[in-house]
Amino acid sequence: MDLDLMRELSVRTDSRIVLLVLDGLGGLPMEPGGKTELEAAETPHLDSLAAASDLGLSRPVAAGVSPGSGPGHLALFGYDPLRYRVGRGVLSALGVGFELGRNDLAARINFATKDGSGRISDRRAGRIPSEEASRLVDLLNERVRLEGVETFVVHEKEHRAVVVFRGEGLSDALTDTDPQRTGLEPLPVEPADGSPEAKRSAALANAFVREADRVLEGRHPRANTVLLRGFGMHPALPSFEEVYGLRAAAIAAYPMYKGLARLAGMELLPEGEGIAGEIETLRRSWRDHDFFFVHVKPTDAAGEDGDFERKVRIIEEVDGLLPRILQLEPDVLAVTGDHATPARLRSHSWHGVPFLLRSPYTLPTARSFGERACAGGSLGVFPAQEIMGYLMGHALKLNRYGA
């Protein structure tokens, strides 16, 4: 989508848009001929909504490419994820409220488990509770010192944290240490280009990992190492206000998604307790904004854990709460995901993401909400970058192009 075109055509109106994102919504059958998680779920409200909606499958980045959550959400917000490359560390840092300086380098941390042979046996350290991880973060801040830079470690949630390196001459042209699979040794950070800044930054990141391993040794039965990924420095994104003329707000529990929203210029609203708490926040703030991004994380976590039934239950929970959103009578309501996370694969995948859009101006084609129904929908398979255009058009927030 052309952001300059959106900026040229967008108009302010009283209509309200809700973008409900079930993280990792897309799925696969566990066996040939079976149903996906979404198709297996009992979703009478979503199915009823689908019967009055445009349906399609979105492609977050490119054919065959499995996106991270950052690129997946950037595409949902209308930013080309191949042009606007934002490191996961930047999103995590912004999400926890850390004020990144222009020269700061941030990386996402996963506390992980390394076995006696030096191989990673659990990339998430059993998803240790936040209070345990927070104590480990305090230790790292207290005891890790690197020459030539300051380091700040901030807890994010559960096994996740972020490290920020502050100093001159840093670069984010770095590779990750996360091998992405268990049974493999952590990777060294390597410079992705030949610049002196990248070489220095790689050396600093590797020194941080060595120091973190030393500090963590014997401190916790599962969290005895750190994996670093998503190195990044603060990028400049045009805001929702600037591009779409929207007073946008975000309701999300996980810091990374708060960081994405903050980067796009959205106001962060208190998320409340669980999915129901997020929807209550939406209700309370309904008159204050004209665009709401509502993020549901547990679908993705269930998919990554390979728990098909849990992912089904979470989708059913969202379906049960859907009437609370419909009572607000949004002019445009979209339900989708940022990528697929099939329980069968236990990871993000390249598969199409179900997309549903309800407004008074749709062309319904199906009676249920699922991957197969969306594949035959009026929108077909389309780039996720186009979603904001659809939302703006259906909300009558775009002027006509040309004479």
- State what percent of residues in the chain have pLDDT above 70: 100
Q: Beta strand pairing status for 225-232 and 353-358?
A: unpaired
Q: CA quadruple 259, 386, 389, 279: dihedral positive or negative?
A: negative
Tokens of 312: 């089904």
CA distance 47 to 38: 11
Per the CB < 8 A criterion, the answer to whether 136 and 156 are in contact is no
Say if residue 26 is in the same domain as residue 75.
yes
The answer as to whether 402 is a domain residue is: no
Say if residue 267 is in the same domain as residue 372.
yes
Give the helix ranges, DSSP H, for 97-195. 130-143
- Whole-angstrom CA distances from 256 to 134, 263, 270, 328 are 17, 11, 15, 27
Say if residue 217 is in the same domain as residue 147.
yes
Helix, strand, coil: what percent of the chain each, to 5?
Answer: 35, 20, 45
CA distance 321 to 242: 32
The answer as to whether 399 is a domain residue is: no
39 three-state secondary structure: helix
Q: Which of 181, 214, 232 is the last residue of a domain?
A: 232
Say if residue 168 is in the same domain as residue 244.
no
> What are 181-211's pLDDT values in tens digits?
999 999 999 999 989 999 999 999 999 999 9
pLDDT at 227 over 80: yes
CA distance 88 to 312: 28
Say if residue 313 is in the same domain as residue 378.
yes
User: Whole-model pTM?
Assistant: 0.81
Q: How many domains does the chain have?
A: 2
Question: DSSP labels for 313-369?
Answer: HHHHHHHHHHHHHHTT--SEEEEE-SSB--TTTTS-BSS-EEEEEESTT-----SS-
The answer as to whether 115 is a domain residue is: yes
pLDDT of residue 293: 98
The answer as to whether 403 is a domain residue is: no
Say if residue 132 is in the same domain as residue 247.
no
pLDDT bucket at 85, cuts 50 / 70 / 90: confident
Say if residue 215 is in the same domain as residue 202.
yes
One-letter amino acid for residue 34 of the chain: G
> What are 243-283's pLDDT values in tens digits?
999 999 999 988 889 888 988 999 999 988 899 999 999 99
pLDDT of residue 86: 85
The answer as to whether 242 is a domain residue is: yes
pLDDT at 364 over 80: yes
Looking at every residue in the chain, the average pLDDT score rounds to: 95
More confident residue, 205 or 237: 205
Give the CATH number for residue 370: 3.40.720.10
**How many other CB atoms are found less than 10 A from the CB of residue 230?**
24
* Domain of 211, in residue numbers: 91-232
> What are 3-27's pLDDT values in tens digits?
999 999 999 999 999 999 999 999 9
**First vs last Cα of the chain: how many Å apart?**
21
pLDDT of residue 272: 86
The answer as to whether 156 is a domain residue is: yes
Q: Show the beta-strand stretches assigned E in 158-247.
A: 160-166, 225-232
Task: Find the helix packing angle between 69-76 and 88-95, rounded to 10°.
Answer: 80
Per the CB < 8 A criterion, the answer to whether 76 and 21 are in contact is yes
pLDDT of residue 37: 98
pLDDT at 296 over 80: yes
> What are 310-339's pLDDT values in tens digits?
999 999 999 999 999 999 999 999 999 999
Per the CB < 8 A criterion, the answer to whether 114 and 217 are in contact is no
Say if residue 77 is in the same domain as residue 95.
no
pLDDT of residue 99: 86
Say if residue 247 is in the same domain as residue 340.
yes
pLDDT of residue 175: 96
Q: Beta strand pairing status for 225-232 and 105-114?
A: antiparallel
pLDDT at 1 over 80: no
Per the CB < 8 A criterion, the answer to whether 353 and 28 are in contact is no
The answer as to whether 400 is a domain residue is: no
Per the CB < 8 A criterion, the answer to whether 105 and 171 are in contact is yes
Exposed e or buried b per residue across 183-199, where buried means at least 16 C-beta atoms within 10 angstroms of its C-beta = eeebbebebeeeeebbb
Please give the backbone phi and psi of residue 187, each rounded to the nearest 5 degrees, phi first: -90, 150
Strand partners, 226: 111
Say if residue 126 is in the same domain as residue 219.
yes
CA distance 229 to 89: 7
Q: Which of 197, 232, 267 is the last residue of a domain?
A: 232
Please compute the mean of the pLDDT values over residues 361-372 and round it to a whole number.
Answer: 96
- In the block, tokens 């390196």 appear at 165
pLDDT at 387 over 90: yes
357: left (phi over 0), alpha (psi -120 to 50) or beta: beta
pLDDT of residue 271: 85
Please compute the mean of the pLDDT values over residues 99-110 and round it to a whole number.
Answer: 92
Question: Degrees (nearest 5) of the Cα angle 338, 91, 308?
Answer: 35
Please compute the mean of the pLDDT values over residues 340-355 and round it to a whole number.
Answer: 97
Say if residue 323 is in the same domain as residue 298.
yes
pLDDT of residue 237: 86
Say if residue 311 is in the same domain as residue 205.
no
The answer as to whether 309 is a domain residue is: yes
> What are 34-74's pLDDT values in tens digits?
999 999 999 999 999 999 999 999 999 999 999 999 899 99
Q: Which of 232, 250, 275 is the last residue of a domain?
A: 232
